[in-house]
Amino acid sequence: MRISLLIRLSLLASIAFFIFSCGKKTEEFQSEPLSNYLPLVVGKYITYRLDSTVYTNFGHNTETHKYQVKHVIDAQITDNLGRPGYRVFRYIRDSVNAQSWTPVQPWTPNGSYFITPLSDRIELVEDNLRFIKLHLPIREGYSWNGNKYLPDHPYSNFNLSIDYFMADWDFVLGTVSNDMIGQTIVNDVLPVSYDIFEASQNMNDNHPVVDTSYAYNSFGLEKYAKNIGLVYREYILWEHQNNPSGNYPNITYNPYNIGFGIKMWMIEHN
């Protein structure tokens, strides 16, 4: 009798749980469209301050060159895969006054790149290198392989070794918030960082740099503002080569650096 009662109670509990479960609604995450953070309209432009770090005198000197650059969406096009996209022209003003950053030369053409908006991502092609810059859903912590289309050695002209790992980098979304861009507070800024630790964890970064040891730095961060587009970018890839010669214990070093670094932030847009 007691066993029969327990069976009936167990059956009733199972039925109640089933009914309750069927009655619950599954909440689906509704993402903002990517076009909110990278609007693509012919005629739109953004002007940036650009600091470019280069290594001269066979890598023994470090110089930072200062420019203004303007990115202008020129026209709708069809990319090499037959998909609709946009062509962006880039212009540059060389020689900026070191105190006021006032440009002292006119705009000159500085190349172009292509943006292809797709249903779940936005791709960018520059110098025959294709990146996935943004990807749905727009949610803090979401990540994707932004460099999956890169070749094994995309920056071979710099003789780097750390770029062999670039195809493994994850792009990670941060928190949308107000942010100081240059001297201006910009609303609703979406940060995208390059998570490169896993790709390079077996290499010694050697910071601070010691002349007698190999060192490297690889860093990427982009920020997109709602209804504006890209408002900040920092991209660094360099290696410190210790360049030893001789035999132990009489080893001498003639260190040098290779690679590049850029930092750019919006100063004007339409």
CA distances from 172 to 26, 146, 198 (A): 26, 9, 13
266 DSSP β-pair partners? 48
Are 89 and 75 in contact by the 8 Å Cβ rule? The answer is: no
The whole-number pLDDT of residue 199 equals 40
**What's the per-residue H, E or C state across the chain?**
CHHHHHHHHHHHHHHHHHHHHHHCCCCCCCCCCHHHCCCCCCCCEEEEEEEEEEEECCCCEEEEEEEEEEEEEEEEEECCCCCEEEEEEEEEECCECCCCCCECCCCEEEEEEEEEECCCEEEEEECCEEEEEEECCCCCCCEECCCCCCCCCCCHHHCCCHHHHHHHCEEEECCCEEEEECCEEEEEEEEEEEECHHHHCCCCCCCCCCCCCCEEEEEEEEEEECCCEEEEEEEEEEEEECCEEEECCEEEECCEEEEEEEEEEEEEEC
Cα distance between residue 184 and residue 45, in whole Å: 18
The whole-number pLDDT of residue 95 equals 63
pTM reported for the whole predicted model? 0.83
Query: 192-222 in b/e burial notation, b at 16+ Cβ within 10 A?
Result: bbbebeebbeeeeeeeebeeeebbbbbebeb
The whole-number pLDDT of residue 25 equals 52
The whole-number pLDDT of residue 94 equals 80
Low-confidence ranges of the chain (pLDDT < 50): 1-3, 6-7, 9, 26, 98, 198-204
Cα distance between residue 242 and residue 236, in whole Å: 19
The whole-number pLDDT of residue 97 equals 59
Residue identified by tokens 């050695």 is 153
